Structure 1
Amino acid sequence: MHGTGSAARAGLTRTPGLLHGADYNADQWPEHVWAVDAELMRQAGVTTATVGVFAWARLQPAPDVWDFGWLDRLLDLLHTRGIAVGLATATASPPAWLVRAHPGLLPVTADGVRLEFGSRQHYCPSSAVYRAAAVRLTRALAERYRDHPALAFWHIHNEYGDHVAECFCTESAADFRRWLAERHGDVETLNHAWGTAFWSQAYGRFEEIEPPRTAPGPGNPTQLLDWRRFCSDALLACHRAEKAVLDEICPRIPATTNFMSMSKALDYWEWARHEDFVSDDAYPDPADPRAHVTAAMNYDLMRSLGGGRPWLLMEQAPSAVSWRAVNLPKPPELRRLWSLQALARGADGVMSFQWRASAAGAEKFHSALLPHRGTASRGWRETVRFGAELRRLAELAGSRLRGQVAVVLDWDNWWALELDEHPSARMRWPELLRPWYAALYERGVTIDFVRPGAPLDGYRAVLAPNLYLLTEETAHWLTRYVHEGGQLVCGPFSGISDRDDHIHPGGHPGPLRPLLGVVVDEHWPIPDGASTTVRLGPDDLRATLWSEWLETEGARTLAHYASGDLAGRPAVTRNVHGAGTAWYVGCHLGAGIATVLDLALAPAALTPPLPHPLPPGVEATRRHGADGTGYLFLLNHGPDTVRLTLDATGTDLLTGAAVPGRLTLGPLDAAVVRTEPTEERT
């Protein structure tokens, strides 16, 4: 079970149906505007408003001065209009009076520059002053509003780690040393873990250790890895301090903090253990023709972090954002389609940043549900239209979907993979993952992300695009899965180092050698702009970025290099182990990985969402209610009209029209087809 309060046993919130709304920064507007906004929210079908996200200075204008009157009136007003509130703890931006009284809470960069007040997230995560002030504000809010009828959930902080994910000040250094002492126990153990015999880096006392500030040359890689772990934990300690207050004072109200999709800075597996439900901020770029694929991947992660439970899209842009070099707006159809995509991937709510477009500040050109032009704008008409559609989809709330294939994601591995001084700086986790994910996405195969050691019961296959950092425990976990009949596909540069980033003895892929039946003699990075041909049966695939001098130790070679220095050597292998099979892909194939996965996953007998292959650009998922009712999402991201044959009859909840087993979707169109339990495919 996720979360620490009793609210973790409840649904997303006590608000019925699907959540729809936005951040409402009412403190930016005079009070006479609030009543207008509340009425417009009601007209737009808004069910929920996130309130007070950056209101610390308004709530506490001086150390011992509190101003809750305006927030009282705002919550009362929203409640009278039937609008629930996600009340923020407002701790993401300390006010000027706190910063000037305690300038040491401002963060410091690796180069020793102290960042100034005037933006947001201007605090050191280890600052005792900041943490105490944040907890004090959280307690004041919780005690005042715990019984307010508008309160649906707590929104803790905002986007932890967005602008400041680390601080190198002296207080952070002391906190880092405490963290290291807890992790390693004594300095001798730390010296071994960090390999400090190299370059005379040995420490005699913990007090000699500093954060990995800018140094003359390459830093100690294990120190950098421990620093990444510490920084995630330091921010999590801030979050947990606020969460503990909320659990103590109002345990029946769920609490969340908004994640930032697949963010490198924070170990979201660990963070998700402390959420009552998972929420995400997602901003796909309308200029990217493949943005919807990455968005689907991020949404699958959010669902997976919550153990398959419904999650909340806390923020998206109704149209253009304000922070890219060029900020393209969303056509109306795209705004609707991308909102429905979150629901297709398990969300129980679609919210936006923000309700009313700001008149001042850094985000005044960011789109909103109510644009600068007001109710005469195209954006407003789309807000009202989508609010009505969400009401028609209300019965989706609580339904779930589960992946057939598991993809291993480990933040320790991500951090270690992208350390410096590796054979190639081009081996980056997101770039390695995306083509593997895209191959399954385009075949309508829903995946779940799993952390090492998670239960694998029910998964027909497991994919590990990269496992550079691999513990013995993770190797045993995968070996057991394959031995019992599972199908595993493992990507290149895997099984290299242990939890301390020490190279496994005996050759790569380390403890996976017996399972994969291969050994890597030497890594063979591919220069930028170059490629190598890989021959797999009748297909010639193209390897870029990476290849390996691979030798088999019982595995069968299924593909070999057909050009370059490695011509004739194995590139893709298959090894039978117990009742299952383990594949190893020793190169980066980009989109060509789809050909390998088609072969590797054939024995898994995956169940497609439709009886025929999906047309290009079509996304298909299926949620299930507790009674077995199915909800088939069909989203056409492409520029052409498509005609689809379904596996059941049903009703399109968006239009109310009967679906007789065939469906036509125009460009950027969608359908949500309810099918009865007796018609569901097994």
Structure 2
Amino acid sequence: MSAEGASRLTRVEGLLYGGDYNPEQWPPEVWAEDAKLMREAGVTMATVGVFSWARLQPGPDTWEFGWLDELLDLLHAHGIAVDLATATASPPAWLVRAHPEILPVTADGVRLEFGSRQHYCPSSPEYRNAAQRLTRALAERYRDHPALALWHIHNEYGDHVTECFCARSAEHFRAWLTERYGTVDALNHAWGTAFWSQRYGSYAEVEPPRTAPGPVNPTQLLDWRRFCSDALLALHRAEREILTEVSPGVPATTNFMSMFKALDYWKWAEHEEFVSDDAYPDPADPRAHVNASLNYDLMRSLKGGRPWLLMEQAPSAVSWRPVNVPKPPGLQRLWSLQALARGADGVLYFQWRASRAGAEKYHSALLPHRGTESRGWRETVRFGAELARLGEIAGTRIGSEVAIVLDWDSWWALEADDHPSARMRWRDLLRPWYAALHARGVPITFVPPYAQLAAYRAVLAPNLHLLRPEHAERIAAYVRGGGQLVCGPFSGVVDGYDHIHDGGAPGPLREVLGVSVDEFWPVPDGATVPLASGAEASLWAEWLVAEGAESVDSYASGPLAGRPAVTRHAYGTGAAWYVSCHLAEGIGGVLDRALTEAGVAPLLDVPEGVEVTLRTGPQGRYLFLLNHDDRPALIPLTGPYAAGGTDLLTGEAAHSSVRLAPLGAAVVRLAPAPVPVPETDFPGEIAP
């Protein structure tokens, strides 16, 4: 394969465009019309078979592939590649009735019934065997089909069932714990079972953290979160291994769900050839595009900066919110371009043709209920034509000088029960930091706590509640070597067992930060604590003691008046900043100082509401400008972009400035185009 071919997600050239197609919901005569309309709309890929298990295998030893043969032949004849699903996300009724133990059980002991989807226990051997059998049958039949471009494993792991508390799950949990800890004495130490007489004499005495009379052991809960993520990953890997064996050379992916708490996507991404994501920003939320950008940056980061695929999004309204607001004209286009601006090499949708029955019959589609006379269809066709003009950006990447540390272990530990405040939630802590960088046009990369950091000018840790000493040493070495660290509150509190570090917070970061936390001081709901700078702290504050750090900002009133709130500590040839409170929008001022000291500058000075990114590759540089405002915007092209270029969306020259309509966008191929590009923007290993 050529270097250009290797940079593509699949063998399909250019950017991928299309969506989920569920032909089992329609008679065959509709399929021909769909294939014709897909070609008219510029569709290049259709996801097929996601929920087709019952149609493919109507009985234990009965298979019906003829309809799928016909469909794949039809799509191939129309030049449409297929993302073929393994169809294992929704076990059929015959399997559930033959093996009712497949059905998942809640922490309260309630067995969930058939009638929705994902109705299986992740630890069920009956489900696993049946899923593997189906996957193998599909792989053997279609591995050489010319339409096959991508394998789609399962669908949205953990969307409805992330855990099961049945006896099979208990057995699996004990086996997982035995492999993790070895002896039961090691387990007792890790779980701190001397507390409340919780000591175990053998692994046989251990059960999942079912509903109990009072608070459940926090380390048991943390290990349960780890186990549940690993149990679903084991199912995914079982299918992936079959595809690798039977259908080598065909890439495979499973659709993630943005920044999803239940699954440790760092571990999952190790088993993906490329990352794909399902994203459903709310059109009713005026800040939805900022959160979407955050999620897309994570998807790009999970595989070291490689291009990723937006597997699902809604063309207009969804069907599962209390109020399902449609996307106004132009928003579907803008938000699709945003995914490309953040490193995607394709945008697919749920779904192609709107369903007439079922739980998602009110969900929008590329081909709405009204058909080709609808507003949605006209937007589908227009955007397909535009996307074809952007094909040359495929394979380009996004560089960044700023990293944000994200650790699922720390996320799970942070949001455990019986903490000083239940208001400290990872995504709520992260969003203001990210929003400040987004507004300033500063690109970021997410990294795990074990990443190599030396190539970044600044590393941000909005929260690292759980912090292992070996990971803290990597961070300290980064600062000693000249890096700029900005660390948020309630960090360095517990170790990998969820035990408080000796000496309290910030634990192993105490020396690098030059501070010690004497006492946590959560802020009551609705209250704020003013700072000397004029900023206000909400949710959280700390009684901080400087141990070498200088006070950058202090609390201005109340019991903490005069005490440091934000500090800076020179350490080695770098500096470490500690923000002991939740500053919400006020975090921007702290980040400005730290990033200036680190030598980090915005990509381009843009008006409020305008998003800017830069994709770079051997074929050129591509400046994305997206106007999320309802007013027009004028963006001067200055600095490295002063030479201007060509807007690929319109074909018009962009000289000294670019004018954007409300919800408008431009993708400017900058001149001169050819520049070298690093192989990855992630300067560190993916695995620990």
TM > 0.5: yes
How much does 1:168 deviate?
Answer: 0.3
Residue 278 of structure 1 corresponds to: 275
How much does 1:460 deviate?
Answer: 1.0
Secondary structure of the residue aligned to 1:332 is: coil
Q: Determine the C-alpha separation between the residues in 2 that align with 1:681 and 1:330.
A: 39
Q: What is the percentage of aligned positions where both structures have the same residue?
A: 71
Are 2:141 and 1:149 aligned? Answer: no
> Structure 1 residues 247 and 10, CA, compared in 2 at 3 Å: closer, same or farther?
farther
Q: How does 1:552-631 map to 2 (within 5 A)?
A: 552-610=546-604, 613-627=605-619, 629-631=620-622
From 631, 645, 653, the counterpart of 1:640: 631
Are 2:231 and 1:234 aligned? Answer: yes
Equivalent residues, number: 669
Are 2:521 and 1:524 aligned? Answer: yes
Secondary structure of the residue aligned to 1:601 is: helix
* Equivalent pair of 1:650/1:661 in contact (CA under 8 Å): no
Residue 549 of structure 1 corresponds to: 543
User: Match for 2:645: what amino acid?
Assistant: G
Q: Determine the C-alpha separation between the residues in 2 that align with 1:677 and 1:556.
A: 46
Secondary structure of the residue aligned to 2:428 is: helix
Q: Determine the C-alpha separation between the residues in 2 that align with 1:64 and 1:679.
A: 57
Instruction: Output one character per residue of 1:505-536: Cα deviation in whole Å (capped at 9) or x when no partner.
Output: 01210110000000000000000000000123
Residue 670 of structure 2 corresponds to: 675
Residue 4 of structure 1 corresponds to: none
How much does 1:449 deviate?
Answer: 0.1
Residue 3 of structure 1 corresponds to: none
Residue 535 of structure 1 corresponds to: 532
From 276, 291, 295, the counterpart of 2:292: 295
User: Match for 1:395: what amino acid?
Assistant: E
Q: Determine the C-alpha separation between the residues in 2 that align with 1:156 and 1:544.
A: 43
How much does 1:639 deviate?
Answer: 1.5
Q: Determine the C-alpha separation between the residues in 1 that align with 2:44 and 2:286.
A: 32
How much does 1:642 deviate?
Answer: 1.0
Are 2:467 and 1:470 aligned? Answer: yes
How much does 1:250 deviate?
Answer: 1.1
Instruction: Output one character per residue of 1:42-85: Cα deviation in whole Å (capped at 9) or x when no partner.
Output: 00000000000000000000000000000000000000000000
* Equivalent pair of 1:51/1:87 in contact (CA under 8 Å): yes
* Equivalent pair of 2:389/2:649 in contact (CA under 8 Å): yes
Are 2:619 and 1:650 aligned? Answer: no
Q: Determine the C-alpha separation between the residues in 2 that align with 1:427 and 1:486.
A: 27
How much does 1:251 deviate?
Answer: 1.5
From 93, 97, 106, the counterpart of 1:96: 93
Residue 5 of structure 1 corresponds to: none
How much does 1:9 deviate?
Answer: 6.4
Instruction: Output one character per residue of 1:471-503: Cα deviation in whole Å (capped at 9) or x when no partner.
Output: 001110100000000000000000100000000
Q: Determine the C-alpha separation between the residues in 1 that align with 2:618 and 2:270.
A: 24
From 227, 244, 258, the counterpart of 1:261: 258
Secondary structure of the residue aligned to 2:471 is: helix
Residue 666 of structure 1 corresponds to: 661
User: Match for 1:643: what amino acid?
Assistant: L
Are 2:69 and 1:66 aligned? Answer: no
Residue 127 of structure 2 corresponds to: 130
How much does 1:10 deviate?
Answer: 6.2
Q: Determine the C-alpha separation between the residues in 1 that align with 2:392 and 2:491.
A: 44
From 492, 499, 510, the counterpart of 1:513: 510
How much does 1:625 deviate?
Answer: 1.5
How much does 1:606 deviate?
Answer: 1.6
How much does 1:677 deviate?
Answer: 3.8
* Equivalent pair of 2:7/2:395 in contact (CA under 8 Å): no
Secondary structure of the residue aligned to 1:248 is: helix
Q: Determine the C-alpha separation between the residues in 2 that align with 1:455 and 1:465.
A: 18
Instruction: Output one character per residue of 1:353-391: Cα deviation in whole Å (capped at 9) or x when no partner.
Output: 000000000000000000000000000000000000000
Q: Determine the C-alpha separation between the residues in 1 that align with 2:314 and 2:185.
A: 51
Q: Determine the C-alpha separation between the residues in 1 that align with 2:123 and 2:622.
A: 46
Are 2:177 and 1:183 aligned? Answer: no
Q: How does 1:395-410 map to 2 (within 5 A)?
A: 395-410=392-407
Q: Determine the C-alpha separation between the residues in 1 that align with 2:673 and 2:213.
A: 68
Q: Give ranges in structure 2 of 5+ residues lacking alignment.
A: 678-688
Q: Determine the C-alpha separation between the residues in 2 that align with 1:166 and 1:85.
A: 31
RMSD, matched Cα = 1.2
* Equivalent pair of 2:8/2:394 in contact (CA under 8 Å): no
Residue 453 of structure 1 corresponds to: 450
User: Match for 1:656: what amino acid?
Assistant: G
User: Match for 2:44: what amino acid?
Assistant: T
From 344, 349, 352, the counterpart of 2:349: 352
Structure 1 window deviating more from structure 2 (209-218 vs 457-466): it is 457-466
Q: Determine the C-alpha separation between the residues in 2 that align with 1:545 and 1:681.
A: 46
Q: Determine the C-alpha separation between the residues in 2 that align with 1:581 and 1:283.
A: 39
Are 2:217 and 1:220 aligned? Answer: yes
Instruction: Output one character per residue of 1:626-673: Cα deviation in whole Å (capped at 9) or x when no partner.
Output: 24x100000000121111111231000000000012111111000000
How much does 1:680 deviate?
Answer: 7.8
Q: Determine the C-alpha separation between the residues in 1 that align with 2:436 and 2:676.
A: 23
* Equivalent pair of 2:618/2:675 in contact (CA under 8 Å): no
> Structure 1 residues 194 and 542, CA, compared in 2 at 3 Å: closer, same or farther?
same
User: Match for 1:426: what amino acid?
Assistant: R
Structure 1 window deviating more from structure 2 (645-654 vs 550-559): it is 645-654
How much does 1:605 deviate?
Answer: 1.6
Q: Determine the C-alpha separation between the residues in 1 that align with 2:624 and 2:675.
A: 14
User: Match for 1:303: what amino acid?
Assistant: R
Secondary structure of the residue aligned to 1:325 is: coil
Q: How does 1:31-50 map to 2 (within 5 A)?
A: 31-50=28-47
Residue 681 of structure 2 corresponds to: none
How much does 1:438 deviate?
Answer: 0.4
Residue 444 of structure 1 corresponds to: 441
User: Match for 1:662: what amino acid?
Assistant: S
TM-score (norm 2): 0.96
Residue 28 of structure 1 corresponds to: 25
User: Match for 2:610: what amino acid?
Assistant: V
Secondary structure of the residue aligned to 1:535 is: coil
Instruction: Output one character per residue of 1:451-485: Cα deviation in whole Å (capped at 9) or x when no partner.
Output: 01112232110000001000001110100000000
Q: Determine the C-alpha separation between the residues in 1 that align with 2:469 and 2:544.
A: 22
Q: Determine the C-alpha separation between the residues in 2 that align with 1:98 and 1:677.
A: 60
User: Match for 1:417: what amino acid?
Assistant: L
Secondary structure of the residue aligned to 1:462 is: strand
User: Match for 1:249: what amino acid?
Assistant: V
From 369, 372, 379, the counterpart of 2:369: 372
How much does 1:607 deviate?
Answer: 3.3
User: Match for 1:676: what amino acid?
Assistant: A
